[in-house]
């Protein structure tokens, strides 16, 4: 009689010393021991898991008495001590022996984890590593590639040869798809190792936020804006409040807003506030997409539940969609993607809703006489959307040929700019970047050409543009670009969730952020940040 041999159980991650680890470790550096510890003290009030970059201090050994005192006073904090050498991407210019001595003493001072780069571990003699481990701290062995994302498995195997308590593999993302390699590494190794995986750079933000969701022991954040210890690092407050790191789990639906540049997009704030208000297990991330194919790869393999897209992706994505709504096909631009149950992408254009909804609340659009200033992408959505509602639309552009082309395509009318002041309109819409923060031209028209019963400015930064100020000074009602931005986002929320959008909450958080940014902006005109694309 033969007996089946039971398969060997999968390897299990080694037991750790009793450590209090959150999903996020706040990295702190300082030029002096006092500065390092002052920052640690400030961070400790909100975050109990810290990394002290001892290599940021000119003489790291001088910081150790401060570290010992800090840990004695704060028994509830967990600290990683790092003293990375310059040859391996750090700031410490001492030899291996000095690095090992500093880390050993850091452990003896009470640091619960020490970070040793894999190159130093390979260079050291076995007795030196054993002495470091004997100091009582958990050992984290790390690998950093500051140029690319490649060979992650080989890097992990190099690290695991030392049987550390934590395996940390860090690469540099050059594309959104690089996040997928990091997340796969985490998923594959999180059963057998306490693994940390991150792709640095703006493109790697996905890995920083979703790493713990994929099984990483934790991720890293900076303690404040401008105090990053690695490219692409975001603040602990941002990870906690905007991306709700502690609440992400395998069931969390992932959405994105894709473009390049994308760092200043308000869509994450807008949509994540809405998800939070409606108690939805969902998150929206900014995605720096250099190509439509890069976005499509991430969308399919992550997968994304939906995505907002900016130009030029609004047009480039069209051939890759299973279907679009009729208006999107007419406009020839899609700003909203939804992943269907069949795994295919479906396209919508909510820019139209952002224009039509605010106007519908103020007047009857059928038969209304509307002047649209501009003939670019924003104007295109306005013209097609308003013609669809039965409005009489006149396209006005400084290059009249462009106005004629758009008007012909949308079955609207065109009007030469020099005739604008001789006409009267129910609504005048600015669909140009004139008046945007950092844009040289403040007004799309001359003052004597403002001859409408309602003025709508699509620019939302600043909140009150020169055109809106002029309209208000004449007692003309206005529609702000902020209202448009919120309405197009509200429509996206509805497409993605099937629920009514919490518009008042969305408006409140974006208005607050824009006012905050205005207070921080120098009085001198700033450089344009990419024409303030609405995304």
Q: Taking 50 as the threshold, does the pLDDT of residue 3 lie above it?
A: no
Mean pLDDT of 31-39: 97
Mean pLDDT of 418-425: 95
d(CA 66, CA 76): 17
Mean pLDDT of 255-281: 97
Instruction: State residue 518's pLDDT score.
Output: 86
Residue 324 CA: distances (Å) to CA of 310, 328, 330: 17, 6, 10
CA angle, 504 then 356 then 516, to 5°: 40
Query: Of how many residues is the chain composed?
Result: 535
Mean pLDDT of 290-297: 97
Rounded percentage of the chain residues whose pLDDT exceeds 90: 90
d(CA 345, CA 368): 36
Mean pLDDT over each residue of the chain, to the nearest integer: 93
Per the omega criterion (within 30 degrees of 0), is the bond before 303 cis?
yes
Mean pLDDT of 3-10: 42
Q: Taking 80 as the threshold, does the pLDDT of residue 211 lie above it?
A: yes
Least confident of 1-15, 285-299, 480-494: 1-15
Q: Taking 90 as the threshold, does the pLDDT of residue 52 lie above it?
A: yes
Q: Taking 70 as the threshold, does the pLDDT of residue 181 lie above it?
A: yes
Mean pLDDT of 398-412: 97
Mean pLDDT of 47-62: 97
Q: Taking 60 as the threshold, does the pLDDT of residue 38 lie above it?
A: yes
Rounded percentage of the chain residues whose pLDDT exceeds 70: 94
Mean pLDDT of 100-104: 98
Q: Phi, psi (5° rounding) for residue 347?
A: -110, 145
Q: Taking 80 as the threshold, does the pLDDT of residue 13 lie above it?
A: no
d(CA 215, CA 195): 8
Q: Taking 70 as the threshold, does the pLDDT of residue 534 lie above it?
A: no
**161, 282 Cβ separation under 8 angstroms:** no
Instruction: State residue 66's pLDDT score.
Output: 98
Q: Report the catalytic residues.
A: 314
Q: Which residues contact 445 (CB under 8 A, 6 or more apart)?
A: 373, 420, 428, 467
Instruction: State residue 311's pLDDT score.
Output: 84
Q: Which residues pair with 288 in a beta bridge?
A: 259
- Token pair for 188: 């594959």
Say what the pTM is. Answer: 0.91
Instruction: State residue 148's pLDDT score.
Output: 97
Q: Taking 60 as the threshold, does the pLDDT of residue 535 lie above it?
A: no
Instruction: State residue 15's pLDDT score.
Output: 54
DSSP run (H or E) holding 182: helix 177-189
Instruction: State residue 481's pLDDT score.
Output: 97
Quote helix, strand, coil % in the chain, to nearest 5.
40, 20, 40
Its sign, for the CA torsion 60, 64, 66, 67, is positive
pLDDT level of residue 522 (50, 70, 90 thresholds): low
Mean pLDDT of 47-68: 97
Its sign, for the CA torsion 235, 237, 241, 244, is positive
Q: Which domains does the chain have, with CATH numbers?
A: 24-249 (3.20.20.70), 255-351+487-520 (3.40.50.10860), 364-476 (3.40.50.720)
Q: Which residue has the higher pLDDT, 478 or 439?
A: 478
**484, 353 Cβ separation under 8 angstroms:** no
How many Cα neighbours within 13 Å face the side chain of 235? 11
DSSP run (H or E) holding 288: strand 282-288
DSSP run (H or E) holding 324: strand 323-324
**262, 295 Cβ separation under 8 angstroms:** no
d(CA 316, CA 485): 22
């Amino acid at each position: 009689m033969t007996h089946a041999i039971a398969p060997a159980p999968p390897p299990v991650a080694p037991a750790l010393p009793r450590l209090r680890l959150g999903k996020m470790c706040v990295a702190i550096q300082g030029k002096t021991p006092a500065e390092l510890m002052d920052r640690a003290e400030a961070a400790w009030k909100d975050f109990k898991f810290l990394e002290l970059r001892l290599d940021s201090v000119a003489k790291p050994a001088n910081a150790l008495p401060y570290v010992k005192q800090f840990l004695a006073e704060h028994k509830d904090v967990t600290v990683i001590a790092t003293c990375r050498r310059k040859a391996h991407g750090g700031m410490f210019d001492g030899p291996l022996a000095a690095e090992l001595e500093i880390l050993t003493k850091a452990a003896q001072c009470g640091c619960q984890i020490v970070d040793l780069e894999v190159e130093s571990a390979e260079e050291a003699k076995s007795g030196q590593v054993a002495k470091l481990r004997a100091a009582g701290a958990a050992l984290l062995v790390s690998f950093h590639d500051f140029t690319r994302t490649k060979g992650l498995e080989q890097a992990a195997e190099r690290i695991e040869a030392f049987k550390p308590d934590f395996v940390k593999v860090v690469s540099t993302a050059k594309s959104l798809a690089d996040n997928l390699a990091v997340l796969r590494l985490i998923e594959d190794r999180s059963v057998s190792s306490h693994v940390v995986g991150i792709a640095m750079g703006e493109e790697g933000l996905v890995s920083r936020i979703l790493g713990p969701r994929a099984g990483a022991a934790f991720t890293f954040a900076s303690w404040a804006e401008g105090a990053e210890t690695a490219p692409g690092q975001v603040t602990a407050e941002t990870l906690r409040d905007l991306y709700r790191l502690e609440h992400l789990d395998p069931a969390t639906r992932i959405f994105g807003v894709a473009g390049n540049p994308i760092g200043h997009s308000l869509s994450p704030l807008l949509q994540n506030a809405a998800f939070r208000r409606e108690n939805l297990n969902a998150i929206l991330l900014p995605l720096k997409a250099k190509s439509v194919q890069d976005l499509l790869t991430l969308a399919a393999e992550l997968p994304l539940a939906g995505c907002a897209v900016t130009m030029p992706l609004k047009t480039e994505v069209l051939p890759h969609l299973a279907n679009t709504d009729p208006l999107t096909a007419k406009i020839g631009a899609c700003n909203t993607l939804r992943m269907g149950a069949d795994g295919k992408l479906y396209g919508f254009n909510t820019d139209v809703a952002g224009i039509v909804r605010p106007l519908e609340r103020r007047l009857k659009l059928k038969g209304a006489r509307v002047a649209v200033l501009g003939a670019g992408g924003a104007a295109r959505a306005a013209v097609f959307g308003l013609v669809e509602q039965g409005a009489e639309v006149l396209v006005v552009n400084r290059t009249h040929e462009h106005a004629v082309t758009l008007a012909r395509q949308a079955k609207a009318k065109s009007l030469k700019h020099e005739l604008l002041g001789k006409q009267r309109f129910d609504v005048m819409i600015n669909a140009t970047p004139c008046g945007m923060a950092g844009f040289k031209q403040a007004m799309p028209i001359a003052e004597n050409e403002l001859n409408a019963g309602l003025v709508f400015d699509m620019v939302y930064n600043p909140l009150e543009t020169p055109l809106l100020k002029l309209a208000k000074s004449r007692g003309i009602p206005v529609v702000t670009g902020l209202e448009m931005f919120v309405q197009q986002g509200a429509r996206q929320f509805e497409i993605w969730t099937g629920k009514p959008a919490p518009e008042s909450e969305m408006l409140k958080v974006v208005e607050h952020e824009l006012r905050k940014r205005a207070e921080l902006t120098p009085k001198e005109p700033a450089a344009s940040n990419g024409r303030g694309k609405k995304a």
